[in-house]
Amino acid sequence: MAIIIDGNATAKALKNEVKAEVELLMTKGAKRPPHLAAILVGEDGASKAYVGSKVKDCELVGYKSTLIKFEDSVSESELLKAIQELNEDEGIDGFIVQLPLPKHIDQENIIQSIHPDKDVDGFHPMNFGKMALEMDAFHPATPAGIMELLERYSINTVGKMAVVIGRSRIVGRPMSILLGSKGNPGDATVILAHSKTKELEKYTRQADIIITALGNPGFLKADMISEGAVIIDVGITRVDDTSKKGYHLAGDVDFPSCAPIASYITPVPGGVGPMTRAMLLKNTLKAYKNNY
Ligand code: GUN
């Protein structure tokens, strides 16, 4: 039976470390704590929940936070103006624009308008490029959180074969870069699989590490993995049910069939998700230290 990677406990430990560091900085005479801002557009339930949790996390570790809300109908130029103001506000160390954005807004334009020094999501091409070149940069929070889990669970990735399923800019593609970069975690031989990949099982069955970021509940089954594989599940899909909430969260991995075969496995919820939020705090602390 696999060791279940506890993302909640690891994120809590990380947040306590961040909190202790902020307290130390303040006792040493810092004039203000780190300040994270978030822009939220529209009424999407998942986005509202994510941003709400991010604001709550800030309180928990002693950061200031600012939430800026816009209606779905906001124009791209209004959004760009708000971003410009945040870029110029010296009291704000970093900010995020919660994705996805409404279809009439060019997401790429928005991301590129964020000053790279305040891009704590690590989505700006400048940060992405620096990450790919193994230069100092903000790393996207989800893959960075997975690297942190691998490190804290002492999972050796050097020389291992890793298959990343999904090539999104937020998870899959940066994940493949980080796992293939020098270091441990890192130094893995990485296959980045996607919707056009043929015979995916051929690769996953050989993999020492599998990271799924598909949003396809229960996709990865026991017959697709080998004994002792490390399974990291990034999928979080709301599946409607008859519960009071009306839905539950489901991962990409068929947990009951894979857990007995794997060496390590992340649950959904309680695996990668909490780490994403914790890493955003870590990136904000980095921005603060650079800015302050
Ligand atoms: N939407 C889903 N995940 C994320 C994230 O990490 N950052 C932002 N800005 N939007 C998201």
Distance CA 96, CA 83 (A): 9
User: Is 280 within the bounds of a domain?
Assistant: no
3-state secondary structure of 71: coil
Tell me the per-residue pLDDT of 10-68, one tens digit each, with 9 for 90 and over.
999 999 999 999 999 999 999 999 999 999 999 999 999 999 999 999 999 999 999 99
Note whether 42 and 96 are same-domain residues.
Answer: yes
Q: Which atom of ligand 1 is nearest to the CA of 47?
A: 1
- Using CB distances shorter than 6 Å, the residues near ligand 1 are 96-99, 121, 141, 170, 276
Note whether 167 and 252 are same-domain residues.
Answer: yes
Domain count along the chain: 2
Q: Which atom of ligand 1 is nearest to the CA of 141?
A: 6
* pTM attached to this predicted model: 0.97
Note whether 99 and 196 are same-domain residues.
Answer: no
Distance CA 188, CA 128 (A): 19
Confidence of residue 208 (pLDDT cuts 50, 70, 90): very high
Nearest CA to ligand 1 atom 7: 98
Tell me the per-residue pLDDT of 56-76, one tens digit each, with 9 for 90 and over.
999 999 999 999 999 999 999
User: Is 12 within the bounds of a domain?
Assistant: no
Catalytic residues: 54, 98, 121
Note whether 155 and 248 are same-domain residues.
Answer: yes
Spatial strand order of the sheet with 161-165 comes to: 3-4, 264-265, 230-233, 209-212, 161-165, 189-193
Note whether 149 and 199 are same-domain residues.
Answer: yes
Tell me the per-residue pLDDT of 116-139, one tens digit each, with 9 for 90 and over.
999 999 999 999 999 999 999 999
Ligand 1 center to residue 99 CA distance, Å? 5
Q: Which of 41, 48, 96, 111 has most ligand 1 atoms within 8 Å of CB, for mutation?
A: 96
Note whether 160 and 45 are same-domain residues.
Answer: no
